[in-house]
């Protein structure tokens, strides 16, 4: 990077939204954050208020623009977002039509099952790299059209978008775009396509007129309304959160892999310029498109990770703070035979059991709070182990796994993952690599950085966790895990 101007990143996650200010050298200069309200109107349903997302993101952005010294000091804005979440709004008013349906939401399970039973999954996977699951955006859009009368009545005024589309629409005063990484998570965008697939849109009943223009991950997409941030600022980088984290971890070469432990856990392996075709229930996705080159990734998605710890804290009352989980896990030598299956939102890869429910096995009178908490954390390594086998079978075995996300700050958990996988795990000093990846893309789009390879200088240094678990102990844990999960 060659410019001392700043990069502003808007990082809109599942539980909070943040604005992070970076120097041209990748130093974090400031951060503003606000929590987002979670709505659970019924079991399996998860919603957000799209208007709240915009209002709180704007407040955070304004705080960082002020800290930067004004809009003129910012070379570009990068946006990264919770993926698959769907917002529907009226183009003429800019108002949301209903609450956003969050990626974790399972309301379309029956519809996805119908489509699977009708034999559509193979064609969808071949085109998009995705499986038929409520996780992805298309069935959410279909549900809105079927259940929100105002959406059906709007005709050409209806706009659909994932969260980056919603934020860019509001920032720019009406630019309706989605980047290739988010588009590749909808089930409507072919991995090698330039735009939406008409056949897939027809299958889900989604009108092409409601969808955004698909753009690369870095470029000059538009500028913000001058009245919002005190001046017009270019929007130059867009990426879904897991792709952004992969870039932020410096996984620029084929074979390099990262695992983000946030609300969910997501492992992506760079697969180069050839679209991956998984035979083991993993997902093919677009990693990024920069300077006309589209790079792909193989992905395993775990629906519940940090949300399990949050559930233990807020719903069950086993923790006062999430940070207590590490001390409790260390306070006992093992889980006392307890195994937690963390299917609070069904099971994602490599099982894909949307109707699975969480369970706790092996309880006895000797079981304590510490055993339960430790077992919940151990579940992450167990799922990762099964994912590792699937990645290896698809030709993308891990030599090193790079960890990031808020949950990875738990040293005990990072070590446990290394122990159960039997490979070295690395964790950067700055575990919030999602925002860093968006900053890299925005810097390229703004002309501050010439390429991804040149961006290696701002990838944070890492600490290493080497495996040290005895083979017998690892085997025992995995046997109990397979019994609990039923396979």
Kindly list the domain boundaries of the chain, sorted by start residue: 6-242
- How far is Cα 141 from Cα 160, in angstroms, rounded to an integer? 7
pLDDT single digits (tens) 308-365: 898 999 998 998 888 899 999 999 999 999 999 988 878 877 887 877 888 999 999 9
CATH 3.30.420.40 describes domain 6-242 = yes
- How far is Cα 82 from Cα 97, in angstroms, rounded to an integer? 19
- How far is Cα 430 from Cα 249, in angstroms, rounded to an integer? 10
For the beta carbon of residue 164, count every other beta carbon within 10 angstroms: 29
Contact 367, 376 (CB under 8 A): no
Contact 267, 299 (CB under 8 A): yes
Contact 152, 165 (CB under 8 A): no
- DSSP lists the bridge partners of residue 289 as 294
- How far is Cα 376 from Cα 413, in angstroms, rounded to an integer? 10
Q: Are strands 400-404 and 257-261 parallel, antiparallel or unpaired?
A: parallel
Structure tokens at 152: 């059906």
pLDDT in tens, the chain (487 residues): 445 889 999 999 988 999 999 998 888 999 999 999 999 999 889 999 999 999 999 999 999 999 999 999 999 999 999 999 999 999 999 999 999 999 989 999 999 999 999 999 999 999 999 999 898 999 999 999 999 999 999 989 999 999 999 999 999 999 999 999 999 999 999 999 999 999 999 999 999 999 999 999 999 999 999 999 999 999 999 999 999 999 998 888 888 999 989 888 889 999 999 999 888 888 999 999 999 999 999 999 888 888 889 899 999 899 888 889 999 999 999 999 999 998 887 887 788 787 788 899 999 999 999 999 999 999 999 999 999 999 999 988 998 999 988 888 899 999 999 999 999 999 988 777 889 999 999 999 999 888 887 777 666 667 899 999 999 999 999 999 999 988 6
Any idea what the Cα angle at residue 360 is, between residues 359 and 363, rounded to 5°?
155
Residue in the block written with tokens 């990770």: 305
């Amino acid at each position: 990077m060659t410019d001392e101007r700043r990069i502003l990143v808007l990082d809109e996650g599942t539980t909070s939204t943040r604005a992070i200010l970076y120097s041209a050298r990748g130093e974090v200069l400031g951060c503003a954050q606000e929590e987002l309200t979670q709505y659970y109107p019924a079991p399996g349903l998860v919603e957000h208020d799209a208007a709240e997302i915009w209002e709180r993101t704007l407040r955070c952005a304004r705080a960082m623009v002020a800290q930067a010294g004004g809009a003129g000091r910012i070379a570009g804005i990068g946006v990264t977002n919770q993926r698959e979440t769907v917002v529907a709004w009226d183009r003429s008013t800019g108002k949301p039509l209903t609450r956003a349906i969050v990626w974790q939401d399972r309301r379309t399970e029956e519809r996805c099952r119908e489509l699977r039973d009708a034999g559509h999954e193979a064609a969808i996977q071949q085109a998009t790299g995705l499986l038929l699951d409520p996780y992805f955006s298309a069935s959410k859009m279909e549900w809105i059209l079927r259940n929100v009368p105002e959406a059906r009545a709007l005709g050409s005024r209806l706009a659909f978008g994932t969260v980056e589309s919603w934020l860019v629409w509001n920032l720019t005063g009406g630019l309706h775009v989605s980047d290739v990484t988010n588009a590749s998570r909808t089930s409507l965008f072919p991995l090698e396509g330039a735009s939406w697939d008409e056949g897939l849109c027809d299958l889900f009943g989604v009108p092409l007129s409601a969808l955004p223009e698909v753009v690369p991950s870095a470029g000059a997409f538009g500028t913000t309304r001058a009245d919002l941030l005190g001046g017009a600022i270019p929007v130059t980088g867009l990426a879904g959160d897991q792709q952004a984290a992969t870039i932020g971890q410096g996984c620029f070469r084929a074979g390099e892999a990262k695992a983000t432990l946030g609300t969910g856990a997501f492992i992506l392996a760079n697969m180069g310029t050839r679209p991956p075709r998984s035979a083991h229930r993993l997902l093919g996705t677009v990693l990024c498109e920069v300077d006309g080159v589209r790079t792909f990734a193989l992905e395993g998605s775990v629906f519940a990770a940090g949300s399990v710890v949050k559930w233990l804290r807020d719903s069950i009352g086993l923790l006062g703070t999430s940070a207590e989980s590490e001390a409790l896990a260390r306070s006992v030598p093992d889980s006392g035979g307890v195994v937690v299956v963390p299917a609070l939102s069904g099971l994602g890869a490599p099982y894909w059991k949307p109707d699975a429910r969480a369970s706790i096995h092996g309880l006895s009178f000797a079981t304590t709070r510490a055993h339960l908490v430790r077992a919940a954390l151990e579940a992450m390594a167990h799922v990762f182990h099964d994912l590792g086998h699937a990645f290896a079978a698809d030709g993308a075995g891990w030599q090193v796994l790079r960890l990031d996300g808020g949950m990875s700050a738990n040293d005990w958990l990072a070590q446990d993952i290394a122990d159960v996988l039997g490979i070295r795990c690395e964790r950067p000093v700055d575990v919030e690599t999602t925002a860093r990846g968006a900053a890299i893309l925005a810097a390229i789009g703004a002309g501050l950085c010439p390429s991804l390879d040149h961006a290696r200088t701002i990838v944070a240094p890492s600490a290493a966790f080497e495996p040290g678990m005895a083979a017998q102990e690892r085997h025992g844990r995995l046997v109990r895990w397979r019994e609990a999960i039923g396979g």
